[in-house]
Structure 1
Amino acid sequence: MTHSIPTTMKAWRLSRLGGELTFDTVPVPEVRPGSILLKVEASTLMSYMKPYVEGKLPPYHAPDGAFTPGGNCVGVIRAVGRDVWQLRPGQRVLLSSLFRSAENVPDPAQLLIGVTSFGPDSEKIQADWPNGSLAEYTLLPASAVVPADGFDDMAATQLSAAARFVVPYGGLVRGRLAAGETLIVNGATGAYGSAAVLMALAMGAGRVVAAGRNASKLDTLTALGGKAVVPIVLSGNIQQDAKALREAAGGGAEIAFDMIGGAQEPNSTLAALNALRREGRLVLMGSLMVDLPVPYLQLMLNSIEIIGNFMHKTDAFRNVLALVRAGRLDLRAIMPKVFPLSELISAMDAAGAAGSLEQVVMQP
């Protein structure tokens, strides 16, 4: 079933990570079983898009051969393939770049569409679905998108902010955040850390201790979150910071949520760990670049739980949108900085410099 589809489109093509990046006219892909063709309305740009494209991020693995990069986006379905029963042309959806195989196996392979694969099984999926969202149209597995019913009146550039919240949502769910609990967010002045503070409030946290090193950013976050947010400027001293966090948490927190990005030392993570109550949980979702030395006896005697978490489950986008519909979460907290699709080069620089409550969005 098709709906107003041209034969060609504009798309960014990358020959390989570190290779040539060009803005080309290419054929619009045809639907196949299990797929949808999406007309892209707004594509969010990763803050690290420039070093990614330049091949400066060794852990990332792109498809063999030229591909269209780009992850999360908002769009309208223009066609669906066979074996797609409930999604329909004309429906607005969100793409979650995190795609997991639907095979009934113990450890389904996963992929970040348009970004990276994770090992041999993931590379097989990437070979089938190599292209991301930096194009006028993109072909996707049907299970990678989430209906955005009821959001037709919201600008796609604003709706795309849901992608900022879905990652911390996944970690807070994994950490079993319960209504009324106190949460420490380490890295609260970063993009996902700021979103974690606001998401925790939307999910019913009683108090959120926002920890970071930038006092002005913490003040901005506190103004948004209200009296339930307690800002703590970290010093880098583990004992001093742990004491300040514990006091701000009213004697200790039930959960510490670590969203620190690219840290070269573990001090703030250890301070958050040391500010937990007995039976507290530490959720690791950041990118600490060194090993985390943990105190074995302290963990055992206090029944502390450390939880590593990557991304989110498949229902996460639906639940985030439900919180928006209910008025618990305001996507307007994230300000879109909009660039035409053709201006990717300058947009990558802007994405790298964007503030924690800003998001660069490409619009075809």
Structure 2
Amino acid sequence: MKAWQIDGFGTPFQLRDVPVPQVRPGAVLVKIETSSLMSYLKEYVEGKLRRYRPPQGAFTPGGNGFGTIEAVGRDVWHLKPGQRVILSSHLVTQENVEDKAQILIGVTNFGGVGEALQKDWPDGTLAEYALYPVSTVTPVEGLDHIPAEQFSIFSRCVVPYGGLVRGRLAAGETIIINGITGAYGTTAALVAMAMGAGKVIGVGRNKHKLDAVAAAMGGRIETVALTGDVKVDTEALRRLTGGGAEMAFDMVGQADDPSATLATLGGLRRNGRLVLMGSMATPIPVDYMQLMGNNLEIIGHLMYEADAHLKLLNLLRIGRLDLSPIKATVFPMTAVPEAMEAARVASSLECIVVRN
């Protein structure tokens, strides 16, 4: 089969002929139809993202994908050849222990046992076939009318869904989304509305991008363009939310200025929750008395629970999750380098998809 591979960070990204993976117990072999590209894939393969821990030796990047099961291994009972499935990069060990190891297949490990886990499952979805552990494979039933590239957009929604569930977003609540003009921030708004949020407030620094997202959402969200002054921005959020939101969601990537996050925290009402899922590159100087006096929660969260795809598919199935504001731009398998460049500069209203 054809597969894109690197031999480690900073090595050439090459389309190679490699053996089709052999099916093994507890795994499924999937014929890949589409893969969505991470916006930072170019920087990743070039070795510019030093916090990531890639597999050792040659491997295929790319985490999430969509395709059809080609074969199943022993100890796979429910999944069958011919089923359409979504592949998730988020792999968590299944042992009954308190601190389970986890990795992002084709992307990174998080140390400890995760290094050994990654050696077993190094390869992602930028190939004609992918072998994935059964716990990361979700069947897609009753949605045959939805084209494969739409499921690449759907996969982007699952990450913020995990954080919104962790933050206990309830129907009718107001939520502030910091970083709404980013890829995951925009999908967080779509998912929050699907979950019944009463009001969605989008926060960002670029008014032009904020207006574009608001227009794509058909007026279903309101936005605040940040000034960088925490006090001014906090007051603007509290006015727009009528005294404060029940929940805030921070999805800003690689931020080196905490002012937006602090303003978002200040926009919460008493008993409010702030979920952090971005990648702040600097410490956040929180006010101890602000947290204590207002019963505020700050919740750090990584990825999502194993059943997230199933539950979010149900929201898609009944028409609650609207993917239409985001458009897929499709590249052929042979054009991954060009697709990486497109992903690097794409807006949050565009999803770059590689199709076999």
TM-score normalised per structure 2: 0.98
Aligned residue number for residue 115 of structure 1: 107
For residues 132 and 345 of structure 1, the distance between their equivalents in structure 2, rounded to whole angstroms, comes to 16
Contact 1:262–1:287 under 8 Å retained in 2: yes
Residues 201-228 of structure 1: CA distance to partner in whole angstroms, max 9, x if unpaired?
1100101111112223222322343454
Does residue 280 of the first structure (1) align with residue 272 of the second (2)? yes
Contact 1:158–1:332 under 8 Å retained in 2: no
Aligned residue number for residue 46 of structure 1: 38
For residues 222 and 346 of structure 1, the distance between their equivalents in structure 2, rounded to whole angstroms, comes to 29
2:143 maps to which of 126, 129, 151: 151
Does residue 180 of the first structure (1) align with residue 172 of the second (2)? yes
Residues 317-344 of structure 1: CA distance to partner in whole angstroms, max 9, x if unpaired?
1111111111011222221111111111
Does residue 63 of the first structure (1) align with residue 45 of the second (2)? no
Contact 2:217–2:325 under 8 Å retained in 1: no
**AA in 2 matched with 1:206:** G
Aligned residues: 356
The alpha-carbon deviation at position 59 of structure 1 amounts to 1.1
Aligned residue number for residue 197 of structure 2: 205
Distance 1:133 1:64, change over 3 A: same
Name structure 2 gaps, 5 residues minimum: none
Aligned residue number for residue 216 of structure 1: 208
- Which stretch shifts more, 219-228 or 123-132? 219-228
For residues 262 and 23 of structure 1, the distance between their equivalents in structure 2, rounded to whole angstroms, comes to 30
For residues 224 and 43 of structure 1, the distance between their equivalents in structure 2, rounded to whole angstroms, comes to 24
- Which stretch shifts more, 91-100 or 55-64? 55-64
Does residue 335 of the first structure (1) align with residue 335 of the second (2)? no
Aligned residue number for residue 248 of structure 2: 256
**AA in 1 matched with 2:134:** A
**AA in 1 matched with 2:110:** F
Aligned residue number for residue 318 of structure 2: 326
Residues 281-319 of structure 1: CA distance to partner in whole angstroms, max 9, x if unpaired?
111111111000010011111111110011111111111
Say which SS state the counterpart of residue 79 (structure 1) adopts. Answer: strand
1:267 maps to which of 259, 270, 278: 259
Distance 1:271 1:208, change over 3 A: same
Say which SS state the counterpart of residue 337 (structure 1) adopts. Answer: strand
Question: For 1:343-362, what aligned pairs fall within 5 Å after superposition?
Answer: 343-362=335-354
Residues 251-308 of structure 1: CA distance to partner in whole angstroms, max 9, x if unpaired?
1111111111211110011011111101111111111110000100111111111100
Say which SS state the counterpart of residue 328 (structure 2) adopts. Answer: strand
Distance 1:142 1:335, change over 3 A: same
Contact 1:159–1:331 under 8 Å retained in 2: no
The alpha-carbon deviation at position 85 of structure 1 amounts to 0.3
Contact 1:84–1:142 under 8 Å retained in 2: yes
Question: For 1:279-318, what aligned pairs fall within 5 Å after superposition?
Answer: 279-318=271-310
**AA in 2 matched with 1:233:** A
Structure 1 stretches (4+) deviating beyond 4 angstroms? none
Question: For 1:9-20, what aligned pairs fall within 5 Å after superposition?
Answer: 9-20=1-12
For residues 93 and 197 of structure 1, the distance between their equivalents in structure 2, rounded to whole angstroms, comes to 25
For residues 302 and 44 of structure 1, the distance between their equivalents in structure 2, rounded to whole angstroms, comes to 41
Contact 2:190–2:323 under 8 Å retained in 1: no
- Which stretch shifts more, 48-57 or 330-339? 330-339
Aligned residue number for residue 236 of structure 1: 228
Contact 1:279–1:304 under 8 Å retained in 2: yes
For residues 245 and 134 of structure 1, the distance between their equivalents in structure 2, rounded to whole angstroms, comes to 42
The alpha-carbon deviation at position 67 of structure 1 amounts to 0.7
The alpha-carbon deviation at position 19 of structure 1 amounts to 1.4
Root mean square deviation of aligned Cα: 1.1
**AA in 1 matched with 2:291:** L
Contact 1:201–1:225 under 8 Å retained in 2: no
For residues 213 and 136 of structure 1, the distance between their equivalents in structure 2, rounded to whole angstroms, comes to 40
